[in-house]
Structure 1
Amino acid sequence: MFLIPAAKEREKAQKAAAQKKASQTPSTSGHSTPTARAMSPIGTPTKSSKKAGSNSQGARKSGTTIPSRKNSEGLSSMLLDLSAAGLQPREDESPRVDEPTPRVAMEREKLLEEARRELQASGQDVKKGVSLVVIGHVDAGKSTLMGRLLYELGRVNEKSRHANERESSRAGKSSFSWAWELDGTKEERERGITMDIAMQSLSTAHRQITILDAPGHKDFIPNMISGASQADCALLVVDATTGEFEAGFERGGQTREHLVLVRSLGVSQVVVAVNKLDQVNWEQARYEEVREHLKIFFGQSGFQSSKTSFVPVSAMLGVNLVERKSPEASFLDQWYRGPTLVDLLDKLEPPVRDIESPLRLPISNVFKGQSSGICVTGRICGGTVQVGERLRVLPGDETAVVKSIDLDERSVSWAAAGSNVTLYLTAIDPIHLNIGSVLCPLNDLVPLAICFNARIIVFDTQLPIISGASVELFHHSRDVPATISKLIANLDRATGSVTKKNPRVLTKGTSAEIEITLRGDGPGGVAKPIPIEPFAVNKDMGRFLLRRGGETIAAGIALEIRH
């Protein structure tokens, strides 16, 4: 039988309609149809099953339901929109688990009791902690001395030593190989000078010492001040070479200025390493000459002779750092029978720690930890801190939780005043942590000041200080523009009594009470308050320095915060 073309077309249309109807009818065989898979939302897995209803089970697992034909168009469109917006959970996604916040292990009184017990402990196995800032004129050999000392005490391994020798020789600076252990940045190594504070630790028989290697170049005095404000004691390194000691000690040299700065920041113990004696043939006369010059200046600067000591060394050769057994030491043995450098460091006395006061921790550095979280470093100026404690960050309204504490390269559950620590913080955005900010308890905040009264001692400045003078105020690791807004009175340096009210100028050597007001950065800038306390409340938080035109013109203590 033959069909005409029109009949053929009608037959094809009927077959197509039947196929379409069959495809839109739910399958009774238990197998998913192509149309059903196409209707599933984007990103929703579908699985075939030999049992009826397996598609709906798979859909429930993924958090969606396959729509029926009755309202498929509207629901399918809505589900597609949700999935595209990223609001549909994926089957392979695991729920987000927030990191648990550590809890405080001890009540404050129990923590104070444990801190007192540790500070009062004595015996052969007890090593008291002390922080030491290394100061001196540029090129006196500070970093070389510390690099060699760390090696002699086993803190630098042979692999690191050979790597430094190889790299420094390749850079044409083979004489700086020991210094490269502390001068680790590319710019420091290229320029051959220390630019920022390098922190290390070493252990002697009775002391655990935190080393703060400070820059000697006058351009980096602010960094040196930051390091000195974190120290209990100082190691002054001087170059015994003819002409070099004089260059560092006379006006404009950093030997004199560094000593004045550390004394103004509360450091009272100083060990002097007279370095490079091998370059003057180990002459005893040269050593004694350097020693006498410094002893006179120590007396003028307020250092007690009982708290200053001298030792002849050669950092490059390693003579008299830890021992005197090398052949080169035989020349020194002819006239010197005193202690080595390590012997003197082992006798440093830690100052009294103020653990009873509220926590005060000025931040000296902020960085991201190797694993996770944000880290801050600084010296605890008062009180205690423990893991799990929530702290306030001032200036600002933010708080943070202490996740962990590192002290002398070991993890501890708590730390007390005088410790140079690294805190790993959580529950805070790093943008709210700045160098110079202070961490303190939520219920005992450090005061913020824009204006305060202070007592200062004027140094050997070229220009006298007058009312309205612009200065830079240095407080721990923070420096801010300020104005000496009022000269209140001249004071007697010995008794502190008023000798003259409302003086017109302050000249060198003068002690005076003044009013300091902070200024904003640049023209029209708004002054921002800084965290500072009266010296009578917290000595470390009450000290500051004033600089102008690249020279330190005065040191002072805060007397009263003006509101």
Structure 2
Amino acid sequence: MNSSHIPGILRFATAGSVDDGKSTLIGRLLYDSKSIFEDQLEAIERVSADNGEEQANLALLTDGLRAEREQGITIDVAYRYFATPRRTFIIADTPGHIQYTRNMVTGASTADLAVILVDARKGIVEQSRRHAFLATLLRVPHLVVAINKMDLVGYDRHTYDRVRAAFTAFSAKLDITDLAFIPISALHGDNVVERGPNMPWYDGPSLLHHLEHVHIASDHNLIDVRFPVQQVIRPNRSASPRPHGYRGYAGQVSGGVLKPGDEVVHLPSGLTTTITHIDGPAGPVREAFPPMSVVLRLAGDLDISRGDMIARPGNRPAATQDLSAMVCWMAADRPLSPRMRLVVKHTTRTAKALVEDLHYRVDVNTLHRDESARSLGLNEIGRVGLRVTQPLFVDDYARNRLTGGFILIDETTNATVGAGMIIGTHPAR
């Protein structure tokens, strides 16, 4: 497959303790990459001058959204967009407080990379460990530890080395596939977009250079073909340019590479067929891979509907009604507990579910497992056994984040109350 076909978009989440400089870092990225409008810059310069600050306070670019989010919870995760000639970026700016664990889960669940800010003066704190654990739990493929406020420690190499060694020791307990450390000063811009002269002992890239060049094309599962059917396309003959008898199956490729002529299997029927055409937004395409949204046309007339899955005959997801999963609970009004009834939304399939077991709760600061826990409260994470009313076509989350993740919904209010990551297809008795 030609890797140049992969869309040049990097989704990354930022996380850090309070006052670690996350807002300033995002503002610096936007400012130094020339991704803000002149009137925005004039506005923050005016407010900064009114506050007696000598230079523009770049944190103001994001703090307005944060205030609204913390007061009304109207914006759970603030998203920012910017682009360079090499790549387009989507930033999920997640809050640092422990009570916003669910927000980081939301922001990092689709991220290709996570940037964890650490204050060089304070070193590794509980929130640093928690954010690293959550990033690895969510299988974020790339992790960058940005050791910030190096200007306040005199750009001292030994301070950087000490923080790096402490984080490296802690990360040995976690499953991190790609870990990078970058010393920065978000306030002055050192090593954010440009290298700067203040840390000649550091020979690595700037943060933006790392973000522009990190290789993400191979992060998607290109081995296991997974195509959850979202909608059956049968356009009105008089109003559509589609040919008479057109029947297509729309969805987002969740794994593997699909081409016309490939033999595939339909689940749950188990019937095999062949892909005849693949249609994209701009017309026919020769191949489809994650995360493309396409319409498949198949040979024969199969009874296929929303929630079904297209896979390879010799490589099928597990079809199961028993799930063992790590769940982050997001409901404030009632905890998750055994015998609770919920709705599971997995890919495009929705089914009712019963919480059979709560095996343990995880202390996200110490990684200790509390096997005596009887419930999960707001922002708590634990291993849960679920029984669903109809088979779901799943993979372990470690193998495929799209077919291994799900959300939990309150069946009475229709509110999202949890996010889950499948770690097995049988209850852990």
SS in 1 for 2:189: coil
* CA displacement, residues 90-121 of structure 1 (integer Å, 9 cap, x when unaligned): xxxxxxxxxxxxxxxxxxxxxxxxxx65xx32
Looking at secondary structure, tell me which structure has more strand per residue. Answer: 2
How far 1:236 sits from its partner (Å)? 1.4
SS in 1 for 2:88: strand
User: Residues 254-265 of structure 1 correspond to what in structure 2 (within 5 A)?
Assistant: 255-265=128-138
User: Residues 501-540 of structure 1 correspond to what in structure 2 (within 5 A)?
Assistant: 515-516=385-386, 533-536=393-396, 539-540=401-402
Aligned to 1:542: 404
**C-alpha distance in 2 between matches for 1:487 and 1:137:** 30
**C-alpha distance in 1 between matches for 2:305 and 2:419:** 37
Q: Which amino acid aligns with 1:215?
A: P
Query: How many pairs were matched up?
Result: 325
Instruction: Check conservation: 2:25, 2:187, Cα contact below 8 A.
Output: yes
**C-alpha distance in 2 between matches for 1:232 and 1:412:** 28
Q: Which amino acid aligns with 2:402?
A: D
* CA displacement, residues 1-49 of structure 1 (integer Å, 9 cap, x when unaligned): xxxxxxxxxxxxxxxxxxxxxxxxxxxxxxxxxxxxxxxxxxxxxxxxx
Aligned to 2:147: 274
* CA displacement, residues 249-305 of structure 1 (integer Å, 9 cap, x when unaligned): 23xx2x21111112111212111111111111111111111111111122211113x
Say if 2:193 is the partner of 1:322: yes
1:358 to 199, 202, 227: 227
User: Residues 104-119 of structure 1 correspond to what in structure 2 (within 5 A)?
Assistant: none
TM-score by length of 1: 0.46
Aligned to 2:331: none
User: Residues 44-63 of structure 1 correspond to what in structure 2 (within 5 A)?
Assistant: none
How far 1:473 sits from its partner (Å)? 11
Instruction: Check conservation: 1:453, 1:560, Cα contact below 8 A.
Output: yes
**C-alpha distance in 1 between matches for 2:62 and 2:205:** 25
How far 1:152 sits from its partner (Å)? 0.9
Cα RMSD (Å) of the superposition? 5.1
* CA displacement, residues 317-349 of structure 1 (integer Å, 9 cap, x when unaligned): 11111213xxxx43322x223211122112312
1:236 to 105, 116, 121: 116
SS in 2 for 1:331: coil
How far 1:515 sits from its partner (Å)? 2.3
Instruction: Check conservation: 1:183, 1:194, Cα contact below 8 A.
Output: no
User: Residues 48-127 of structure 1 correspond to what in structure 2 (within 5 A)?
Assistant: 120-121=3-4
Instruction: Check conservation: 1:127, 1:208, Cα contact below 8 A.
Output: no
How far 1:232 sits from its partner (Å)? 1.6
How far 1:545 sits from its partner (Å)? 9.3
Instruction: Check conservation: 2:11, 2:111, Cα contact below 8 A.
Output: yes
Larger RCO (CA within 8 A; separation ≥ 6): 2
Aligned to 2:212: 346
Q: Which amino acid aligns with 1:443?
A: S
Change in Cα spacing, 1:360 to 1:270, as seen in structure 2 (3 Å) is: farther
Aligned to 2:242: none
* CA displacement, residues 386-432 of structure 1 (integer Å, 9 cap, x when unaligned): xxxxxxxxxxxxxxxxxx98xxxxx999996347x9xxxxxxxxxxx
How far 1:476 sits from its partner (Å)? 9.5
TM-score by length of 2: 0.59
**C-alpha distance in 2 between matches for 1:284 and 1:471:** 54
Change in Cα spacing, 1:222 to 1:331, as seen in structure 2 (3 Å) is: same
Change in Cα spacing, 1:190 to 1:452, as seen in structure 2 (3 Å) is: closer
Q: Percent of aligned positions with the same letter in both sequences? A: 29
How far 1:143 sits from its partner (Å)? 2.3
SS in 1 for 2:36: coil
* CA displacement, residues 183-228 of structure 1 (integer Å, 9 cap, x when unaligned): 443834998x996322233345643332222221222222211111
How far 1:148 sits from its partner (Å)? 0.9
User: Residues 157-556 of structure 1 correspond to what in structure 2 (within 5 A)?
Assistant: 157-167=37-47, 170=50, 177-185=57-65, 187-188=67-68, 196-204=76-84, 206-242=86-122, 245-246=123-124, 249-250=125-126, 253=127, 255-304=128-177, 307-324=178-195, 329-333=196-200, 335-350=201-216, 351-352=219-220, 356-359=225-228, 381=254, 417-418=290-291, 443-445=305-307, 452-456=322-326, 468=338, 484-486=355-357, 515-516=385-386, 533-536=393-396, 539-543=401-405, 556=422
